[in-house]
Amino acid sequence: MSKQIELPAGIVIRDLAQKIEISPIEVIKKLMANGVMATINQSVDFDTAAIVVAEYGFEAVPEAQEEVEQKETGEVPLWRRLIADEDATKLVNRPPVVTILGHVDHGKTSLLDAVRLTDVAAGEAGGITQHIGAYQVEKKGRTITFLDTPGHAAFTAMRARGAQGADIVILVVAADDGVMPQTREAIAHAKAARVPIIVALNKIDKPNANPDRVKQQLADLELVPDEWGGNTMVVPVSAKQKQGIDDLLEGILLVADNANIKANPSGKVIGTVVEAEVDKSKGTIATLLVQNGTLEAGDIVVAGKSYGRLKAITDYKGKPVKKAAPSTPVVALGLNDVPAAGDVFRVVDSEREARAIVGERIEAEKSQSHTKKKVSLEDLFASVQSGEARGLNLIVKADVQGSLEPLVVELQKLGQGEIGLKILHAEAGNIGENDVMLASASKALIVGFNVQADVAARRLAEKEGVSIRLYEIIYRMTEDIEKALKGMLEPDLVEKVIGRATVLAVFPASKLGRVAGCRVTEGELKRNSKVRLFRGTDLVFEGEMASLRHEKEDVREIRTGFECGVGFKSFHDIQVGDQLVCYVVEKNEI
């Protein structure tokens, strides 16, 4: 009798070989014998993998998707957490909430417009005059809620604040362009959020469209199309020609049925702030997405550090309504301050209780440091050992693709032990703000090989408490990760930015060649500290400060608001407008 082995809908050949404990080369040979040409890092669908394992005496059975996601991330979707304490007999299906992600110029906005027009043509909207960041359409008598968010950065910002705005992600990929860097980022963000992905293959009307090439690219990223035996729905559409829109809406309903999305309309009222602003005549206007319970005009709401009794609520068409059921977006008036997009809101019994909650949050924020405590490798290992986390999450950046692929292979080898290692995103290029946001939302570390983090990314990492570790030798990176997985990593040396300055002028100097005339814009500059000089986002110098002077006098430090002269060791290419970052290297006290 054959031994059963669980396989996912799509699996990388290297992982398949490990599951059945044979060489990847043998798997590739078997595939070639069956007419399938593939590399060690390529993904194959369930049916193809089943043929291979059958030749080695195994019977393939589908792996339960939800269990796989739970095992890999240890996370539970927000809406499941919201209904965890609700009476199961009162749970009902609610409309799915959908957001659209994808690469720039691949047609996200055009697709949203096409969906809107489809609904207007059906006579449902009657001409939408206001934009509130969310709207609803009808399909086959059922409602679908769309979040009109500006891309995966906003999507991840919601997760970083404890919310998860969408139940389903539509990934827009142009049939003529294929998978692009921002597409890969969007996939990483959606996977990290454990949200089902539907691919809208846009621009199929173009003469140079190549759907099969795009499907292969998606399969390589573990989004195997359903027609290839995978579990990712790929819907050909043309937003410009209004083709395939109905098929896409039907696909959303099918995925929603499988996801079994529920809420308790009579339960506790909880939801997410989609966006908010101040109107001169109306005060604070907030777009709220109800995710459980029923929101009513007159309810007292707490959202982040704002609260208030709702004076009025209107639907996405601007029509006043008295109640809003789960998955319904509404515009609400009455909050005393502007909440942040992604803040979770809830209804409380009295304004006194609301004031107390907000007061506690403000005091807690004051008592904490301005920057979050960085999550180090040691912290993550400790949380895994205590059962709080189920593995180490990494974001990997390398200078070129040729370095990235072997690096990922080496890191994945380390994740085969008792503690799992999950690479959320791997890409060539410097570390940017999107990488930091993904790391913040997913409690991940960023490791970089022969790359730099730009100024904005470093600043955001300090604010969000994200640890960035940079390496120039691959084995040192893998050695650190391996030690962390085994709990043997010694406290590392960490960088602490102590000040920033802007170059206002450049002066000649007899000993140093040229000196930068700077104004300190943040923190302080200290003599003998280390410095980085940035020109735009490019790093032009990294080394030691040779001199620090104030009005012809040598000084030890210069604080915010003061001007000074800074000299650099063996570097003279200084320009007005350059940004100076001053930092020290100290032992990590965590």
Q: Would you state the structure tokens that stand for residue 66, as one six-digit string?
A: 């939800």
In contact, 22 and 75? CB cutoff 8 Å: no
- Structure pTM? 0.58
Residue 494 has pLDDT above 80, yes or no: no
Residue 87 covered by a domain? no
Q: What's the whole-number mean pLDDT along residues 449-465? A: 84
Same domain, 360 and 412: no
**Residues 96 and 201 both lie in one domain:** yes
**206 Rama class: left (phi>0) / alpha (psi -120 to 50) / beta:** beta
Chain CA centroid to CA 115, Å: 25
Among 473-482, 490-499, 571-580, which range has the highest average pLDDT?
Answer: 571-580
pLDDT at res. 576:
92
pLDDT of residue 106: 67
Mean model confidence pLDDT for the chain: 79
Q: Is the dihedral of CA 68, 74, 78, 80 positive or negative?
A: positive
Q: Is the per-residue pLDDT at 370 higher than 60? A: no
Q: What is the CATH number of the domain that holds 248?
A: 3.40.50.300
CA distance 467 to 445: 6
Greatest mean pLDDT among 16-30, 33-47, 98-112, 147-161: 16-30
Decide if 124 is inside a domain. yes
**Which of 40-44, 56-60, 147-151, 309-313 has the lowest average pLDDT?**
147-151
Query: In this structure, what token pair is assigned to residue 283?
Result: 């005060």
What pLDDT does residue 126 have? 37
Lowest mean pLDDT among 24-28, 375-379, 403-407: 375-379
CA atoms of 254 and 236, how far apart (whole Å) = 16
Residues 355 and 392 in one domain: no
Tens digit of each residue's pLDDT (9 = 90 or more) over 382-427: 555 544 555 678 889 988 777 777 788 777 777 655 556 788 888 8
Whole-number pLDDT of residue 65: 44
The helix or strand, by DSSP H or E, that contains position 377, with its residue range, turns out to be helix 377-385
Distances, alpha carbon 423 to alpha carbons 103, 252, 442, in Å: 21, 28, 11
pLDDT the model gives residue 353: 92
Confidence at 127, pLDDT banded by 50, 70, 90? very low
pLDDT at 451: 87
**Residue 47, in any domain of the structure:** yes
Residues 395 and 295 both lie in one domain: no
pLDDT at 215 > cutoff 80: yes
Query: What is the reported pLDDT for 150?
Result: 53
List the single range of 203-212, 298-307, 451-460, 506-515 with lowest mean pLDDT. Answer: 506-515
The pLDDT value recorded for residue 78 is 56
* Higher per-residue confidence, 253 vs 376: 253
> 369 pLDDT exceeds 60?
no
Same domain as 125, residue 238? yes
Q: Is the pLDDT of residue 341 over 70?
A: yes
As a whole number of angstroms, the distance between CA 237 and CA 292 comes to 33
Q: What is the mean pLDDT of residues 295-320?
A: 90
The CATH number assigned to the domain holding 34 equals 1.10.10
Q: Are residues 43 and 104 in the same domain?
A: no
Q: 103 CB contacts (<8 Å, ≥6 apart)?
A: 172, 173, 174, 177, 180, 181, 182, 183, 186
Give dist(CA 295, CA 345) in Å, integer.
Answer: 11
Residue 294 has pLDDT above 90, yes or no: yes
Q: Which pLDDT value is given to residue 199?
A: 92
Domain that includes residue 321, residue range: 270-367
- The CATH number of the domain holding residue 303 is 2.40.30.10
Selected residue with higher pLDDT from 94 and 47: 94
Residue 476 confidence (pLDDT) above 70: yes
Residue 371 has pLDDT above 50, yes or no: no
Residue 483 pLDDT > 80: no
- Asked if 366 and 358 touch (Cβ cutoff 8 Å), the reply is no
85 belongs to a structural domain: no
Residues 226, 107 share a domain: yes
In this prediction, residue 361 carries a pLDDT of 83
Please indicate, yes or no, whether residues 535 and 571 belong to a single structural domain of this protein.
yes
Give yes or no: residues 33 and 119 share one domain.
Answer: no
Name which of 117-121, 481-485, 537-541 the model is least confident about: 117-121
DSSP 385-449: HTTS-SEEEEEEEESSHHHHHHHHHHHHHHTTSSSEEEEEEEEES-B-HHHHHHHHHHT-EEEEE
Average pLDDT over residues 337-355: 88
381 occurs within a structural domain: yes
What is the bridge-based pairing of β-strands 97-102 and 142-147?
parallel
Q: Are residues 513 and 442 in the same domain?
A: no
SS3 260: coil
Contact between residue 149 and residue 331 where contact means Cβ atoms under 8 Å apart: no
How many domains does the chain contain in total? 5
Mark whether 460 and 510 lie in a shared domain. no
Cβ–Cβ contacts within 10 Å for residue 491, how many? Answer: 12
Confidence of residue 259 (pLDDT cuts 50, 70, 90): confident
Residue 207's Cβ-side half-sphere holds a number of Cα atoms within 13 Å equal to 0
* Same-domain status, 221 and 285: no
